[in-house]
């Protein structure tokens, strides 16, 4: 399809002008074509940028009108300018507008040449939403009324928690990975397994730049697992690679699937991927697993203004963090990440069943 016609189709989709049948067909094609999905996302940002510029322009115009009205009514006054001083005054007053006009002209020239729009860091930050679930007090009170039988089986008394996210084991002895922004909200950290058992944990090392943190389950009731059935990929993954995710946007583990839609994260962050997958508060820290049973990323955030756009830290960052931790303290030399996968020859259902035991809810207050 011609590029211009394709953009027209995308704009019809974004404006909601498609029929139900057309929208269904377009969304099916979007799921199957990573390039089309990327075009939709980038064009969404482009339209948002134009809308923002229009709002700023309207606001400036309103300010100018107010200023003129106040001057005409004699409420404010301006000293007269003569000669060169007047030129300097006019330059200072309108230089921003001139700069904006020049920028827009250059932008249109670039667009006409067929180059795609890139998103500024400011816009990206506004849309970047971390996925920690803040549990409201009503839910906490309801949970307290549940049967005590499940609580009695827990390793410790069920704690009162304010935040919920996800983490998974990177060593069989109780070392986990999650997001740095997850633990930054917690003074007390607990890990809950799929049986509803809680274990006390502590943060060992975190890096806000890549948004990852290493935790250690310190509770003596936790028993090390025999081995981990997945491996951690040390190389970058390919555009369009299929994967599945596991996480806790609710009180039970939730499965999702999608594909890698860009080889960099928000604002071109080379330490992350852009994914096309469904994610909600609580998914932060969840593993991204490819068909071979390799961890390729850790979910960090989503774009709040683009459907299905999620960001994930690349798995090779786990190895980097572990190396730093080991250099900081020799006692952590014992940490051994899994390097073999038992999931490669299994179908998806059995891959998920195998993984569930090693993915935890990270909760705290």
Token pair of 284, please? 């932060």
List the domains of the chain with CATH numbers: 3-127 (no CATH), 131-365 (2.40.10.120)
* Complete DSSP assignment for 299-342: EEEEETTSTTEEEEEETHHHHHHHHHHHHH-GGGGG-------S
CA distance 139 to 159: 13
Strand 294-303 relative to strand 231-232: parallel, antiparallel, unpaired? parallel
* Complete DSSP assignment for 17-45: -S-HHHHHHHHHHHHH-HHHHHHHHHHHH
The CA–CA distances, whole Å, from 112 to 3, 103, 105, 256 equal 12, 14, 11, 39
**365 residues of the chain, pLDDT tens digit each:** 566 778 788 888 888 888 888 888 888 888 777 678 777 877 787 777 777 777 787 777 777 777 776 666 666 665 555 555 555 555 555 555 555 555 554 554 444 334 333 333 333 456 777 887 777 644 544 455 444 444 444 456 778 888 899 999 999 999 999 999 999 988 999 999 988 999 999 999 999 999 999 999 999 999 999 999 999 999 999 999 999 999 999 989 999 999 999 999 988 899 999 999 999 989 999 999 999 999 999 999 998 888 899 999 999 999 999 999 999 999 999 999 998 999 998 999 999 999 999 999 999 98
* Other beta carbons less than 10 A from residue 359's beta carbon: 23
Is the whole-model pTM more than 0.85? no
């Amino acid at each position: 399809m011609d590029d211009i016609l394709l953009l027209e189709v995308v704009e019809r989709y974004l404006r909601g002008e498609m029929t139900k049948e057309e929208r269904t067909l377009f969304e099916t094609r979007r799921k199957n074509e990573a390039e089309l999905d990327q075009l939709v996302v980038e064009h969404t940002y482009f339209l948002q940028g134009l809308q923002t510029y229009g709002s700023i322009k309207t606001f400036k115009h309103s300010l100018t009108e107010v200023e003129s009205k106040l001057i005409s009514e004699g409420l404010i006054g301006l000293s007269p300018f003569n000669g060169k001083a007047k030129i300097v005054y006019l330059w200072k007053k309108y230089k921003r507008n001139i700069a904006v006009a020049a920028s827009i002209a250059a932008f249109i020239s670039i667009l006409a040449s067929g180059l795609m729009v890139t998103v500024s860091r400011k816009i990206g930050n506004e849309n970047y939403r971390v996925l920690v679930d803040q549990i409201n007090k009503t839910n906490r009170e309801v949970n307290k009324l549940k049967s005590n039988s499940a609580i009695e089986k827990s390793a410790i008394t069920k704690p009162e928690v304010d935040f919920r996210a996800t983490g998974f084991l990177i060593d069989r002895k109780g070392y986990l990975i999650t997001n740095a922004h997850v633990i930054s909200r917690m003074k007390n950290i607990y890990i809950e397994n799929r049986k509803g058992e809680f274990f006390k944990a502590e943060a060992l090392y975190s890096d806000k730049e890549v948004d990852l943190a290493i935790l250690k389950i310190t509770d003596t009731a936790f028993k090390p697992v025999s081995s981990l059935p997945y491996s951690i990929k040390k190389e970058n993954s390919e555009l369009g690679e299929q994967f599945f995710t596991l996480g806790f946007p609710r009180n039970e583990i939730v499965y999702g699937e999608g594909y890698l839609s860009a080889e960099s994260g928000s604002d071109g962050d080379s330490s992350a991927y852009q994914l096309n997958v469904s994610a909600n508060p609580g998914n932060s820290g969840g593993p991204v697993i490819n068909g071979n049973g390799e961890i390729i990323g850790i979910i960090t955030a989503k774009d709040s203004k683009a459907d299905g756009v999620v960001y994930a830290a690349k798995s090779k960052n786990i190895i980097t963090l572990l190396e730093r931790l080991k250099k900081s303290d020799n006692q952590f030399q014992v940490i051994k990440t899994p390097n073999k996968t038992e999931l490669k020859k299994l179908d998806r259902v059995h891959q998920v069943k195998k993984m569930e035991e090693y993915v935890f809810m990270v909760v705290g207050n």
